[in-house]
Structure 1
């Protein structure tokens, strides 16, 4: 294990569980720009070579044990960047370890029971938790939220449209050690494979925007998926209703030359459109446009986006200021995503699958893990 230089008492110490591509390509660059308030002090990964190499870039300690990281008194904030199935147990352990704040990559739980357990432990320990759906921390979104007036009450249509290259295109340039494993090939016409890809698309990619969608859908518990399909080589088209609001979720990850990530909320007398920066982009916020009859208000871009916004919020919470998202908000965001994923998978016709719209065996978790 490496030994870190004497930590500055004025800084908040960060410990990271999982040193994969998201840590290397997203969180470490964000933290590097916030060196006046945050310092990476401990990185844990089950692969000791990866843990040592990544920790060495920032002069942090390294280990292969979650317990060792959580016992480190230099760690104030824990970021959980491990595979999804470990999130709930690690969030609970971090809260019980008495840390000052926890960031968990999405989804923070795999079901409602895990979410309720996390909520109970957070309430018991007083440790605030935020989930890494970065758009909710983007200054462009926050500025729009402050300026849109009664728009949520009149919205009838919401759209999330995503066009991105596959994650490895960014990760292989931005990381030293990826440890990428080629997934086994699978029959992309198998209904169970298609169901898995739809579920993975919702829980891995659409989930970034679903908290935003839910802001405009007061009847979010009443979800009806009208159409769901996957598209080549990875993506989805999902149409649904939540109460009286029509929702369109579209995504394509391919060899595009021009990435785009757009969110729209359209009402009777006003509309909101937000252009978010693509995944892995580290500088500059979203730009929001609020349109009414004869007037367009443009908000942004601001100097940082949601990746850095997450860490600014964590530093604020760990310092005892600001308000974390309520447990109810986190649970409802998760329940909304799970309901859409389950309903979308349920639309797959197990008796007849259109091979022309089937994806080419790329696993959802591989592509949408950021």
Structure 2
């Protein structure tokens, strides 16, 4: 086999997509940079932006990228093909829209990609107008273990009566610190869990910050949720939640517990289940921030269990591979209506929990 020439090397480098990060906190450092380091044939990190110029400089130095404290400067960089929006939630919509209008090829936005249905609709309109595809970083939806489950489950989406998302994790910092050299973690005060408005806000944060990983999965079984009713909504100490709701004729259970202190040694567990009268599905995911292996799917039907996985990559890598496939024309872009409905589902649960808590307090 002939060896590659310098010209071949230059052409390969030029074919890679340049990525620019808006926000250089733990998600960028501990998730996306390690992921892209495994996809150097597809991507190169071109530019890092953070409002803290020292953080931007330090993180960019790890990957030999340009750095700036200015959103506008990054969006004006012709070397940035794909923009990854990893900023606080409240900035997502305006930054996604700005990236689309800047003529970028694609946008990856961390979840949630908006904080209201109105913002989501604006993003959808701008994406359609500019032709810029948007991928929301709900990594479980791109995990090859989940994608294999979709091929196995048959009519389960029509027959399932119960859905469960169960999450048991140590604090994110336990994993963040393995891959993060520059800590950009906001300090947090203990919430007043006796105040109903604080409880409602804490539960909404749990939905939009943690449960939202699995809500797009649940939505595959709940295409219509006009009848959504929150039957139970509780904060779990030290960090967690319990939700019980009915939607689309299904019972949906969402539970989470993030341990701390001595209990941080708990074995992490993250599972999604769909249970029907004749079949059931269980998908076991690796914890957030863990860069190893895919989910494993187990489908039981007619007394027989079929197992799919683990596969060679996880959902973090899967979402970046999807972007490359979209831009190469081999994969479809996520449909805007589905993205809006996924967000609407999350917001409806958060609002239902708020109403449930305030009515109980009254």
Give TM-score scaled by structure 2 length: 0.93
1:344 CA drift (Å): 1.1
Equivalent residue runs for 1:293-308 within 5 Å: 293-308=302-317
Where has structure 1 moved over 4 Å in runs of 4 or more?
349-353
Equivalent residue runs for 1:155-194 within 5 Å: 155-194=160-199
Contact 1:191–1:350 under 8 Å retained in 2: no
**Whole-angstrom distance in 2 between the partners of 1:35 and 1:53:** 20
Deviations 1:144-191 (A, max 9, x none): 101211111111000000000111122123211113332234422111
Structure 1 residues 115 and 107 mapped into 2: Cα distance closer, same or farther (>3 Å)? same
Contact 1:100–1:317 under 8 Å retained in 2: no
- Name structure 1 gaps, 5 residues minimum: 354-370
1:46 lines up with 2:46 in the alignment: no
SS of structure 1 residue aligned to 2:24: coil
Identify which of 221, 224, 227 aligns with 2:232: 227
**Whole-angstrom distance in 1 between the partners of 2:70 and 2:237:** 39
- Name structure 2 gaps, 5 residues minimum: 1-9
**Whole-angstrom distance in 2 between the partners of 1:319 and 1:293:** 41
1:323 lines up with 2:328 in the alignment: no
1:283 CA drift (Å): 1.5
1:119 lines up with 2:124 in the alignment: yes
**Whole-angstrom distance in 2 between the partners of 1:349 and 1:83:** 27
**Whole-angstrom distance in 2 between the partners of 1:162 and 1:234:** 11
Structure 1 residues 185 and 249 mapped into 2: Cα distance closer, same or farther (>3 Å)? closer
1:292 lines up with 2:297 in the alignment: no
Contact 2:175–2:290 under 8 Å retained in 1: no
SS of structure 1 residue aligned to 2:107: strand
1:351 CA drift (Å): 6.8
Counterpart of 1:78? 83
Q: Provide the alpha-carbon RMSD of the alignment.
A: 1.6
1:215 lines up with 2:224 in the alignment: no
**Whole-angstrom distance in 2 between the partners of 1:184 and 1:139:** 38
Contact 1:290–1:297 under 8 Å retained in 2: yes
**Whole-angstrom distance in 2 between the partners of 1:19 and 1:313:** 22
Equivalent residue runs for 1:53-132 within 5 Å: 53-132=58-137
**Whole-angstrom distance in 2 between the partners of 1:249 and 1:39:** 37
Tell me the matched-pair count: 349
Counterpart of 2:276? 267
**Whole-angstrom distance in 1 between the partners of 2:184 and 2:80:** 26
Identify which of 140, 155, 159 aligns with 1:150: 155
Equivalent residue runs for 1:240-251 within 5 Å: 240-251=245-256
Contact 1:7–1:74 under 8 Å retained in 2: no
**Whole-angstrom distance in 1 between the partners of 2:129 and 2:193:** 45
Counterpart of 2:3? none
Structure 1 residues 306 and 346 mapped into 2: Cα distance closer, same or farther (>3 Å)? same
Identify which of 241, 244, 255 aligns with 1:239: 244
Contact 1:221–1:336 under 8 Å retained in 2: no
SS of structure 1 residue aligned to 2:310: coil
1:350 CA drift (Å): 6.5
**Whole-angstrom distance in 2 between the partners of 1:280 and 1:76:** 25
SS of structure 1 residue aligned to 2:13: coil
SS of structure 2 residue aligned to 1:8: helix
Deviations 1:181-215 (A, max 9, x none): 32234422111111111000001000000000010
Give TM-score scaled by structure 1 length: 0.91
SS of structure 1 residue aligned to 2:244: strand
Identify which of 205, 209, 218 aligns with 2:210: 205
Deviations 1:49-86 (A, max 9, x none): 10010000101011111111111111111100000000
**Which deviates more, 7-16 or 121-130?**
7-16
Equivalent residue runs for 1:11-50 within 5 Å: 11-50=16-55
1:319 CA drift (Å): 2.6
